[in-house]
Amino acid sequence: MKLDDQLERRLADQAASARELLGLAAQPGTDLEELRGLIRALRSRLAPGEPAGESIEGQESALERLRERFEARFAALDRVQTGIAELREVTSPPEMLHRAPAVLCAGSAFQRAILSLVKGGLMVAEAAHFAGDSRAAAAVLTQLQNSPLRLEHPLIETELLRRRRATIVVDADVNPRVDRQTAALMGWRSYAAAPLVLGAHVVGVIHADRGAGQALDVLDRDVLWEFATGLAQAYESSVLRRTLRDERNQMRELLEWIRARSSELADAPVRLSAGGHAPFHPPAPPPTAVPSGPVAGARDDRVVFEGLLSRRELEVLRLLAEGATNRQVADALVVSNGTVKFHVGSILRKLHAANRAEAVTRYLRLMGMRVP
């Protein structure tokens, strides 16, 4: 089995030190058998004639345990990353959380896992998985949901949310900081717990164990923390993708609505009213209220401009025809000056007018009034 990179570096460092003491030329890299030979040679040089069997065997045994420990660690963390990659394929954030406990147990030595969300100071169970016993998992999940744990001092979970790191709880059956009801329900001797951290907030907690009454070690803690960190990143990415997808759909609907509305306005005919010319009067003082109909003595401009100008645009055009400034129009309509400018620009575009005066002229002509 190929040694892990970190273990290989440590072996290379030890081999380099041994070669230096033996006066041998430096060589890049090493392997376990070569290091064993260097240790024997170094032992013979330092204590000639002394049997080195036990010392060498002890060192070899220590090296072997070190190698096995590193291999076991990185193999376990690699399985966790495989599980996280599987969860990243899930497009629904709630479904991702629902599957998480089963994925954790499938890729580790854990036999039971429970994922809970933090809601209003309560830890509410969301999903559970017991290897080979789905009925027991469902029963425990129901009981935990019916009696959510309140996060308050001195519970370990409360400290977990503050410190934001995984932990192992030993002697859970007698530990005063462990919720007694949950410990009895799970039959805990020891368990591991890790927070789910999204950005600056802790949104959930994962509990896991090897089964009722089983002990855990440091590797279990590290595996759970690696899983919780990867799950949080995958969940945050899934939520972001869902939000962007929803916003894209909303933008598409808005653009389709604008396109349809623009087509209606472009295709709508401009209705011209035939008849005599109404007398034109000089502009009156700025109005104090929005006129509810056309300019006095004119035809109904709501009929003339139907389908071309909106109700608000028509109100603005009436006031412009009466000689009002943008500020006076804004005061009359109780809107901002910027809103008036927006409506004026829209009116000019729809009437194909170069400026306000031309827009007023076209309004008067369409209304059958005399243009000065």
Q: Where are the domains of the chain?
A: 5-81, 90-242, 269-372
Q: Which fold has domain 90-242?
A: Beta-Lactamase (3.30.450)
Report pLDDT for 33: 64
Report pLDDT for 173: 80
CA torsion angle for 348, 350, 352, 354 (degrees, to 10)? 10
Report pLDDT for 126: 92
For residue 192, count CB atoms less than 10 angstroms from its CB and return exposed for 0-12, middle for 13-18, buried for 19 or more: buried
Give the DSSP letter of residue 117: E
**Is the CATH number 1.10.10.10 carried by domain 269-372?**
yes
CA 183/CA 142 separation, integer angstroms: 16
Report pLDDT for 290: 46
Token digits of residue 7: 């273990």
Report pLDDT for 278: 46
Report pLDDT for 34: 67
Assess contact for 112 and 122: CB atoms under 8 A: no
Token digits of residue 246: 């929803």
**């204590």: which residue's tokens?**
47
Within 13 Å and on the Cβ side, how many CA atoms surround 350? 26
Among the listed residues 15, 44, 46, the one whose alpha carbon sits nearest the alpha carbon of residue 32: 15
**């799950």: which residue's tokens?**
231
**pLDDT tens, the chain, 372 aa long:** 444 555 667 667 767 776 666 666 666 655 556 666 666 666 666 555 555 444 556 666 766 777 777 777 778 888 888 888 888 888 888 899 999 999 999 888 899 999 999 988 899 999 999 998 999 999 999 999 998 989 888 888 888 888 888 888 888 888 888 988 888 888 888 899 999 988 888 889 999 998 887 888 888 888 899 999 999 888 888 888 888 877 887 787 777 777 766 655 555 555 544 444 444 444 444 444 444 455 444 567 777 787 788 888 889 998 998 889 989 999 888 888 888 999 898 899 888 888 988 888 888 888 777 666
The count of residues in the chain is 372
Report pLDDT for 276: 45
Report pLDDT for 136: 92
Q: C-alpha distances in angstroms, 2 versus 31, 34, 198, 265?
A: 10, 15, 36, 72
Interacting residues of 131 by C-beta distance below 8 A, sequence separation 6+: 105, 111, 112
Report pLDDT for 170: 84
